[in-house]
Structure 1
Amino acid sequence: MAKKKKGSEGGGGAGHDSAGGMRWLLTYSDMITLLMAFFILLFSMATINASKFAATAQALREAFGGYTILDRGSSVIGEPGSTTQSAPVVPDSALKAQEASLKIAEILRQSLNPNQFSVIQTERGYLISILTDKILFDSGKANLKPDAFPLLTKIAAVLKKIDNEVYVEGHTDNVPIHTVEFPSNWELSAARAASVAKYFIEQGISPSRLVIAGYADTRPVASNDTPQGRQKNRRIDILITKK
């Protein structure tokens, strides 16, 4: 009787091994599909439409009682090497202070030279500094000049639209003053701040929102050793607080 060739019977031949060996492609294709979906998700998180983001953030702020849920200046995912955390919640009053300071900066830019004012952000709020010389007061005086009224009227109109506290602070250089009205720079700086605050009240700003302070020459922003430095130190600061 002729012997059967080895491997020619049953289902254990080459055909069966080939079919079983193709099953790994199913697992491989599933893995590739999942990876593709994962990278699409990451790409969608990294790409943000600015206008849609701003509209969504505004809607969320209004829905949650005037608070910003996401700050456009903060990273949502986090910087490299830092832990992922939520963006800080910014009170609505802080946003109002920022918007008001930007409007006042534009008013000052249209009315004064760039070296006559400054607008900066501080921990307390937004600080608007206006040099007093030739703008607000005559030398050694605390009465507002008539030329100052139009400028202060425009600033008051912006401040009336918000309810933040406003600090009006007077500053002088270190040149002593000895007059009957102002025995020292303390009285002069405080009187100048009071004149500006009084004018704001006349323009309709509530007195309960205003705080005045006189610092004389104790908080210079430049050296008092030069005329230019002393001129920069003679100023009125208007601080729009974040609360």
Structure 2
Amino acid sequence: MEHRSSGSSGQARQAARELVLNVDRSEESDGWMLSYLDLLTLLLVLFVLLLAMRGVVPQENASASTLPTSSAATAVMVSPLTLAAMDRLSPVQAVPVSTTGVLPWLAASPTPPPPWQMLSTTAASDSRTPARVDVQAALAVMIPLQNIVLPTEEETPSDEVMAMDHRLAGIEGVQVTRERERTILRIEDRLLFPSADIDISGQGSVLLDRLLPALKDFDGEISVEGHTDSRTISNDRFPSNWELSVGRATAVLRYLSRGGVKASQLRAIGYGPTRPLAGNDTETGRAQNRRVELVLSPGRPRSASR
């Protein structure tokens, strides 16, 4: 019995071996396609999942951008400041702001340092950083400067002007000074007029006659200016120092015009006590302030004055 069963099992093994050896090779070669299709299916599913996850990100960003802004937030525009001005600013007490509608991670973040401290630290760490310019402050400084006329270098007087100044300086009682291009002849009133009068004295006529040759050769404008001290004068002829100064300037102008100086070159101005040379507290100072000045300004040629 046992011999018969062992023989049948051997036959079965032999039949199975022959079945394996006789398998058709064409059927065995098509078995790999199943695994390949499974792999393609997995890759397709993975690709679909990636696309689905990518589409979620813009929606999150869009929702974040539509968050309601806090009603306590206020936009403030400030003019640019220089670094030095920011360093002088004192810290300002922070005002509590409602965090409603603010992202949680923003509300939990620490408070940043004040901007002037950040700028000061940056400027100290990098000295090559160019300083910021306050344009408005610069304009505020520049606009007043446009109204300031800087003094220019005095021009060297010509030989003709130098010769005339030398002639005038040789006349006793006449003080000659130069201001830029102008020549000023200063004469004390006692050499021309009696006290509180506008009639030229004999001494004054002699003095003016010595000035006439140089003044007739001068081509520019001659301004005759009368000045007084601060003492009050009031009479029927001269109600104030203004009338006295104008009367004396006009008297000298008429004398020069009769002496041959062209009237078109002359003009008379009375300044009264408004332009003193010295203080009026002493007699010496008041004597300096009572004067007549001939201001010679080069300008028009003679042909233009005819």
Q: TM-score range by the shorter chain?
A: 0.5 to 0.7
Answer whether contact 2:230 2:280 (CA < 8 A) is retained.
yes
* Letter of the 2:206 counterpart: P
Is 1:177 the counterpart of 2:241? The answer is no
Q: How many residues align?
A: 147
Match of 1:99 in 2: 163
SS in 2 for 1:170: strand
SS in 2 for 1:238: strand
SS in 2 for 1:232: helix
Is 1:227 the counterpart of 2:278? The answer is no
SS in 2 for 1:215: strand
Is 1:131 the counterpart of 2:188? The answer is yes
Matching of residues 15-164 of structure 1 within 5 Å: 95-108=159-172, 112=173, 117-123=174-180, 125-133=182-190, 135-164=191-220
Answer whether contact 1:171 1:215 (CA < 8 A) is retained.
yes
Q: Summarize deviations over 1:25-67 as a string: whole Å, max 9, x none.
A: xxxxxxxxxxxxxxxxxxxxxxxxxxxxxxxxxxxxxxxxxxx
Match of 1:75 in 2: none
- 1:188 is aligned, of 229, 244, 249, to 244
Match of 2:34 in 1: none
When normalised by structure 1's length, the TM-score is 0.57
SS in 2 for 1:99: helix
Answer whether contact 1:101 1:240 (CA < 8 A) is retained.
no
Q: Summarize deviations over 1:2-38 as a string: whole Å, max 9, x none.
A: xxxxxxxxxxxxxxxxxxxxxxxxxxxxxxxxxxxxx
* Letter of the 1:118 counterpart: Q
Q: Summarize deviations over 1:83-134 as a string: whole Å, max 9, x none.
A: xxxx99768xx654443222111122xxx3xxxx42111035011111012x
Distance 2:244 2:280 in 1: 17
Cα 1:242/1:227, change in 2 over 3 Å? same
Cα 1:98/1:197, change in 2 over 3 Å? farther
Q: Which moved more, 1:96-105 or 1:156-165?
A: 96-105
Match of 1:239 in 2: 295
* Letter of the 1:125 counterpart: R
Answer whether contact 1:96 1:162 (CA < 8 A) is retained.
no
Cα 1:124/1:183, change in 2 over 3 Å? farther
Answer whether contact 1:97 1:240 (CA < 8 A) is retained.
no
Distance 1:166 1:203 in 2: 14
Distance 2:238 2:154 in 1: 47
Is 1:205 the counterpart of 2:269? The answer is no
Distance 1:242 1:196 in 2: 20
SS in 2 for 1:143: coil
* Letter of the 2:170 counterpart: E
When normalised by structure 2's length, the TM-score is 0.45
Q: Which has the larger radius of gyration?
A: 2
Distance 1:101 1:168 in 2: 17
Q: Summarize deviations over 1:122-177 as a string: whole Å, max 9, x none.
A: 035011111012x1011110110012111101101111112111111000000011
Q: Which has the higher helix share?
A: 2
Distance 1:195 1:211 in 2: 11
Cα 1:98/1:169, change in 2 over 3 Å? farther
Distance 2:154 2:230 in 1: 42
Match of 2:223 in 1: 167
Q: Summarize deviations over 1:193-223 as a string: whole Å, max 9, x none.
A: 1111100001010000011100000000000
Q: Which has the higher contact order (CA 8 A, sep 6+)?
A: 1
* Letter of the 1:217 counterpart: P
